[in-house]
Structure 1
């Protein structure tokens, strides 16, 4: 059994849980704050090589397919990215009620080919994206 090292990165957002959860439940909203998807995200056509329910995104490695958790009342906004080489990366993302606001937590898994510097750089990238999410939702 292999267990990947993880980092749980979070941001407090001064917006009600229901609003934050609803925003995260819409895949179309991700490019506005998640820079890995900022070049665009679109529903994948059946002839694109996508599996049913996947979205198409541009990635440095080429075309990537993203599957999002269906909208739910629990603030779960997990997604799975499938890269052209078949590699998949799971990205757990949660909105959690916190008083009158919301805490959003993303779990970052260290990938097998990552060294310490790359894992730290990915964590910094996620922190910037979560800060952009907070800014977007609070303004």
Structure 2
């Protein structure tokens, strides 16, 4: 494991209005539909936190408040107790919108980090399919 935190950006262009994408992605009931890397089952809402069963085990997630800027940042508290901040943006793009997710290598080997990058890419592709089909 590296002692330096490495960040990489994963993005997906979606042929839809940015607000439509933001509204779908920010609805916590939709997390298990598109964010399999985070939520494998329906989320449990406890105050302003979500408890989800993830591939890593039970994690707690706290999203930033709903906003008009397309910001979907969220903190995930891992089973180890470490909290990872995940910046996510939905921005306008000439073909609709682009969703940009920053993945950080925290408590991950290089192989695990590459797996997380692939998983986020798959999640964003699933988000694209769901939004474009609706």
Distance, in Å, in 2 between the alignment partners of 1:13 and 1:66 is: 25
Q: C-alpha displacement at 1:115, in angstroms?
A: 2.2
Q: C-alpha displacement at 1:61, in angstroms?
A: 4.7
1:43 alignment partner in structure 2: 45
Distance, in Å, in 1 between the alignment partners of 2:128 and 2:117 is: 17
Q: C-alpha displacement at 1:65, in angstroms?
A: 1.0
- Which structure 1 segments of 5+ residues have no match? 45-51
Q: TM-score, normalised by structure 2?
A: 0.88
1:122 alignment partner in structure 2: 116
- Superposed CA deviations along residues 18-51 of structure 1, whole A, max 9, x for unmatched, are 111222222222111000202221202xxxxxxx
What is the SS of the residue equivalent to 1:7?
Answer: strand
Match of 1:133 among 110, 127, 133: 127
Quick check: 63-72 or 7-16, which moved more? 63-72
What RMSD in Å do the two structures reach over aligned CA positions? Answer: 1.7
1:47 alignment partner in structure 2: none
Alignment: residue pair count? 130
**2:79 aligned with 1:84, yes or no?**
yes
1:25–1:77: 8 Å Cα contact kept in structure 2?
A: yes
Q: C-alpha displacement at 1:119, in angstroms?
A: 1.1
Q: Label 1:101 to 1:109 Cα distance change in 2 as closer, same or farther (>3 A).
A: same
**2:99 aligned with 1:99, yes or no?**
no
1:58 alignment partner in structure 2: 53
What is the SS of the residue equivalent to 1:37?
Answer: coil
Q: C-alpha displacement at 1:62, in angstroms?
A: 3.7
**2:111 aligned with 1:110, yes or no?**
no
2:12 alignment partner in structure 1: 11
Distance, in Å, in 2 between the alignment partners of 1:91 and 1:30 is: 15
Q: TM-score, normalised by structure 1?
A: 0.85
